[in-house]
Amino acid sequence: MFSNFDSEILVAARLLLGGAFVFAGLRNIQNAAFVTQLMTTRGVPQARLVLWLGTVLQIIAGVLVIAGISTAAAALCLVLFLVVATPMFHNFWDHQGPERASRINGFVGNVALTGGFLALIAQSL
């Protein structure tokens, strides 16, 4: 039914998945002091350096996914990023009430993003 739209759907998928990480990276730059403090309280050594490395990874890999350049490698980098960042920022097991629900939502959202990137990797191979 949608066979004529395969490439358009793929472009939309790359734009949405990669764009989410470009946006998140830019937001991390804007909120660097807050995110660094949060990472420090979570026990991340050299939190400021790790934040900047992660932010650069998010933006560059996100742009590569959007552009369709080295898509599988860029998507794999973002999967690895999600594996590290998700338990750090969406630690629902340490919270109760509305904060727990919010963290669970973020955790599930990142699991879904991981699934999208895995599908993109499979399509790219």
Residue carrying structure tokens 């895995």: 118
Q: What is the pLDDT of residues 14-44, one digit of tens each?
A: 999 999 999 999 999 999 999 999 999 999 9
Number of domains in the chain: 1
- The range of the structural domain enclosing residue 44 comes to 3-124
**Secondary structure of 23-60 as H, E, C letters:** HHHHHHHHCHHHHHHHHHHCCCCCHHHHHHHHHHHHHH
* Residue carrying the six token digits 């660097």: 32
The pLDDT tens digits for 59-112 are 999 999 999 999 999 999 999 999 999 998 888 998 999 999 999 999 999 999
